[in-house]
A and B are shown apart, each in its own frame.
Chain A
């Protein structure tokens, strides 16, 4: 079983181009697992065949590294302060991303809004679909058997495990991202944040709130 420590990859802090040429360092007592060897090998083969370049790989890694929930949080904060933007976001998520200066993204974005009467939570029971261009890579738990099996069937119990209690009078809506849509929860603006700037509001919006397993709170 391979390890996930970024330690042994920090030793390879040179980029993919160099890694293509040098043997992996057999330090830190790490093992070159079969799949890690396959990654190196297939990548080198594809580079040799001209499918892509080492630079392409490096740039794409950097691209994904640059994505984080901060983008999604800014979209949410914008919707909190601007009712017209909020309408656009709910009507056409992709257009709203562009309006906020972000990528439209490769998939259609469906934004589901939390209200005093309804709380939304997102899952991909079939794999791990996630609005990566807005939020970055999903957390392990989102991809886990436990989350994918249970949140669709007992969402309130799972939310409780995340420390989120949904009152009895609030409807819970689960969204299973099974095909070409990707989802973002538009959380409710928390009380105690009146008159705040967009920037300050964005800091309240966590990744977990945009998945729907928690809600923003003023600390």
Chain B
């Protein structure tokens, strides 16, 4: 990305949401357990392509890459992930 034209640097920052910190935590935990490397994380992020990259937030890209790496490594199956996400979404719809 170095050297490409871009606008003014907006000195924004935000407090990280808990879910974002947990994504970050998972990357560290998986790396120390040698179940992923930052290189795989980066490759999977780069593979998103510029449009998806720009549409997604930083930790959304990380989350995507963590899931991709776990699938690629065979730690989880695509089916398991799909079913689990659906289950989580269903739980969110249950009125409390």
Contact = CB atoms under 8 A, between A and B. Distances in A.
B26 A45 contact: no
Contacts, number: 173
Interface of B: 1-26, 28-30, 33, 35, 42, 45, 54-60, 63-64, 66-67, 70, 75-76, 80-81, 84-85, 87-89, 91-96
A60 B94 CA distance: 30
Interface residues of A, number: 62
A127 B62 CA distance: 11
30 contacts: A2-B57, A5-B17, A9-B17, A24-B88, A35-B60, A35-B64, A37-B88, A38-B64, A39-B22, A39-B26, A42-B26, A42-B67, A42-B76, A42-B84, A44-B84, A45-B81, A49-B75, A51-B75, A57-B22, A60-B28, A64-B21, A141-B10, A141-B13, A143-B58, A145-B4, A146-B6, A146-B9, A147-B9, A152-B3, A161-B11
Interface string A40-63: 111111100101100011001100
Q: Nearest 6 pairs between A and B by C-beta?
A: A125-B2, A9-B18, A23-B91, A60-B25, A41-B84, A139-B13
A2 B76 CA distance: 25
